Chains A and B, each alone.
Chain A
Amino acid sequence: MGAQLRVYRQKIKSAQTTKKITRAMELISASRIQKAQARVAASTPYSRAITRAVSAVASYSNVDHILTTEPEKIERAAIVIFSSDRGLAGAFNSNVLKESEQLAELLRSQGKDVVYFLVGRKANAYFAFRRRASEKTWQGGTDNPEFETAKEIGDAILESFLKPAAEGGVDEIHIVYNRFVSMLVQVPEVVRLLPLEVVEGVEEPDSKAVLPLYEFEPDASSVLDSLLPVYIESRLFNAMLQSAAAKHAATQKAMKAASDNADGLIRDYTRLANNARQSEITQQISEIVGGADALSSAK
């Protein structure tokens, strides 16, 4: 076998092996998207109930709460970045990191210090490689987020939010995550979590659905006190679930592209290998014919 032919055959083999891997990964993440989406759907009753309750308290009581009041001067802002633990997901992680870099730049241009909370191994690696500091990190389990993690994150950011700025506390918290729009589209999204502003997701109040006057037990401010951290946790949990679903979708898309590309490579190299084989045979024939000619003319 000619050297050229051997090289082509090797390349075909390697493309085939890679294709097997990427195909398997594609199928795995395709099946996981369904599960992740189901989890997003399963958590909506909770977040809807909490959002509704928060908007009820916020709109029917004039309680000033520390989590909802805008500080006069914002010295330091925190960014929570939701990345994934694993790569091979196309632009998934770079999108969210790029978005947070832009946000950081914007915040710095407003004269704010920026600190980071990182979720997922990839964001962590990005920061470690650039030798940048981060306040706190969470790694592992981004594929299948637990509510406990959301609670931990919530506790950590609340703690630093409630700390005065002079002691290293932050006055503003933003979250950056990939939102799952569809199997094909995932959008990086930036949301300011604290101080809480407009309560999102409130159904449009048509004439009948005006929120009723609530009775609070024990009283409005303590209900708000215990409700807001829960609200924040549920927002964080939702971001994590969205990000997990988006990650699986992005992986599926990336791996599908890789498998298709491997198909293309295999086809191209097979053509080249056929060509090489054919020209080898042609060469051999012409050698034999030439040799026979030489022999017969020598007689």
Chain B
Amino acid sequence: MASALTVSVVSADQEVWSGEATMVIAKTVEGEIGILAGHEPLLAILAEGEVRVTQASGSRITAQADDGFLSVENNTITIVARNAALV
């Protein structure tokens, strides 16, 4: 099992953030979801809310994303939102 996730947060006109992380917590339309390395491929619609990314160093990054979706595959997480910004 790979130890880290590659995360990128992308908005319509730029890549907001990208890097390595150990855990990602996002809010989908069905509820909150936490993703660790080795998660099965997933495609989910995001509800308006925060996406919290825990980096390997333990520090946290919070991004505001609305109107978007989240895709997970091969330990690569892409959070795509029309409007996304780091908080």
Contacts and interface: CB of A to CB of B under 8 A. Distances in A.
A263 to B, nearest CB: 39
Nearest to A241: B13
Interface stretch (A4-12, A113-121, A198-206, A219-227): A219-227
Interface string B45-77: 100000000000000000000011101011000
Interface stretch (A47-55, A129-137, A182-190): A47-55
B25 to A, nearest CB: 14
Contacts of A222: 45
A218 B45 contact: yes
Nearest to B9: A45
Contacts of A216: 42-44
Interface stretch (A25-33, A207-215, A273-281): A207-215
Q: Is the interface of B mostly helix, strand, loop or mixed?
A: strand
Contacts of B69: 53, 223, 226-227, 230
Interface residues of A, number: 29
A39 B15 CA distance: 11
A52 B33 CA distance: 22
Contact of B10 (A49, A151, A214, A233): A49
B12 A218 contact: no
Contacts of A151: 82
Interface in A123-169: 147, 151
A218 B29 contact: yes
B71 A56 contact: yes
B44 A42 contact: no
Contacts of B80: 46, 49-50, 53
B8 interface: yes
Nearest to B41: A212
A258 to B, nearest CB: 33
A133 B28 CA distance: 43
A215 B15 CA distance: 25
Interface of B: 8, 10-15, 28-30, 33, 40-45, 67-69, 71, 73-74, 78, 80, 82
Given A43-B14, A218-B29, A227-B69, 9 more contacts: A49-B71, A49-B80, A212-B73, A213-B41, A214-B41, A216-B44, A217-B29, A217-B42, A218-B30
